[in-house]
Structure 1
C-alpha cells in the first residue's frame, strides 16, 4: 500500500472515530455541569450493520473518502495528520468551542478491516469496521463495532439517550450508503 493510500485510510478511520466523539461533544454541550456529575462510566459495546449495494472494494474506498465522511459527520472543522498512525480531528460549529480528538490507527487490511482507538475525552473508545462480501460480491456488508466507557447517569442528565452512539453510527452508515456512487455495469 502506498503512502497516499495509507494516509487516506488513516483519515477515514479518524472520521469514524470522530463520529463517536460527536455524540459525547453534543452531550457535553447540552449540559456541561450535568455531564461532569456523578456516575461511574460503564464499559459499553455497540454495533451497527448495513449492507451497501456496491462491491466490497468500492465500499472500502468510500470509507477512505475523507470529504464524504466529514460531510456525513456534520460539524467537522478540520483534520490533520500527526504522524504515521495518528490524526487530529477538530469538531466545532457556529459559535461553539472546537473540540480536538487524536485518533490512532491500529489496523488496516485493504477491503477487509479498518481499526482505531482514541484515549481522548470526551469519549475514549476503540472501534473496527469490517467489510464482507454479500450476495456473491455484488453487495457489501459493513459491520462497525465500538467499545467505550459511558456514564448512563451523566448521559441522561445531559439529555442523551442510551442508544445515541448506535443511532449516530446508523445515520453515518445510511448517509454514506445513500451517497455511494453507482458502479459501472
Structure 2
C-alpha cells in the first residue's frame, strides 16, 4: 500500500456526528470543509481520534493530515497543526488500528459462522459468505495497514509536518515577540 497521507488546510463548516459507544475515536459523516481558496471539499466518512476532537469544533483554518482508509470513502485524521499547536500521537493510532483488527476478526469468525448456518437453513450463505470475507479483510488487513505508524510518520515527514526535535503529541511553544519574556 502506498503512502496516502494528505495535507489539507481547511475550515470545517459542518458535519453529521455518528453516535457510537467507542471512546477512542469518533466517526463523522458528510464532513464539509472550505479550503483557503474558497473551494469546498467533502469527506464522506472521517474517523477522528479522541485527542483530536477539538479540531472538529475549531471554526478557523487549520492544517489537517488525513489518511485514506478505503479508496476515498473513509479517511482518518492523524495529525493537526495550526499557528500554536501541533498534535500527533502514534500510540493512539495504534490502539485504533487494533480496534479495527478486532472488528475484522469478528466479521471473519462471526460472519463465517452465520454464513454456514444460513447456507444450511436457507441457502443465503452463498451470498453472505463473500461479503463477510471482504468486510473482514477490510477491517483486519487494509485499515490497520493504512494506520501503520511508520508509514504515517514517513508520510507526515514528506508533507512537512514537524516531527523531529519536538516530543510527539505536545504543543509547540509560541515565539516571544520583541521585548517580551517567555516564562
- Whether TM-score is above 0.5 comes out as no
Structure 1 length as normaliser, TM-score? 0.26
**Higher RCO structure (Cα 8 Å, ≥6 apart):** 1
Give the greater-gyration-radius structure (CA). Answer: 2
Structure 2 length as normaliser, TM-score? 0.26
